[in-house]
Amino acid sequence: LTGTSREQRAFQYLLAHAIPGDPHHILQTFDQWCYHCEHLSCVGPDKGRIVERVLLERAPLRVLELGTYCGYGTVLLAQGLPPGARLYTIEADPRHAAVAEKVIRLAGFSEQTVELIVGPSEEVIPRLREKHGLMNANLVFMDHWKRSYLRDLRLLESHQLLAEGATILADNVLFPGAPHFLQYAKTCGKYHCKVHRASLEY
């Protein structure tokens, strides 16, 4: 009825209530909107703590996020990066990317720290090295279409974009579920797998 999307309405709420340049407060304000106004498929605070723990343990210098959406996960990842690290995030939907770009910059992250790439992951991944300068990633966060998880993991492997000892963190593999991805990760012999139990966001 308003002619604006849920994502745009959430951003307007951020502009009105969040502290610019404060990533933690940006995420808290996002959570308030999602709990009390409209549901968005963001990572949310419960699963966010798992992401924060992995970042703290791994201290990755090169991070790749598949599925930027509104930028919630991007801000979550960026605020946990060690000094000098860089985050590349890919979003297929230009409308979501436009919102995410504003959210990321509102949180205080420059293009030197966070690069947002717009386009389908299967087209962007093969160009990451030559076009965007990503030699390989220490951490990959998958939070896009579940049916794309396995395809994109294999693309990352075939283009040698995974650093030795890289961590793949994939959201919602049990529900809505990414069974082929999960089976491959468990049986291909390349990965040690751990399932983190969590509730659905909000």
Give every strand in the sheet of 62-66, ordered side by side: 114-118, 86-91, 62-66, 137-142, 162-170
The distance of Cα 84 from the centroid of its chain, to the nearest Å, equals 19
Any idea which residues carry the catalytic annotation?
Answer: 143, 146, 171-172, 201
Say if 33 falls within a structural domain.
yes
Label residue 69 left, alpha or beta by phi (over 0 means left) and psi (-120 to 50 means alpha): left
Judge whether 193 lies within some domain: no
Give residue-wise pLDDT tens across range 113-129: 999 999 999 999 999 99
CATH code where residue 21 lies: 3.40.50.150
35 contact partners, CB below 8 Å, separation of at least 6: 202
List the domain range (segments joined by +) for residue 62: 6-188
Residue 1, pLDDT > 70, answer no
Q: pLDDT digits over 53-102, tens only?
A: 999 999 999 999 999 999 999 999 999 999 999 999 999 999 999 999 99
What is the structure's pLDDT at 141?
98
Here the tokens at position 67 are 């599925």
Residue 20: φ, ψ to 5°? -60, 140
Look at 201 and 16; give whichever has higher pLDDT.
16
In terms of Cβ atoms closer than 10 Å to its own Cβ (0-12, 13-18, 19+), residue 17 is middle
Number of domains observed in the structure of the chain = 1
- 104 and 71 in contact (C-beta within 8 Å)? yes
Q: What is the pLDDT of residue 103?
A: 98
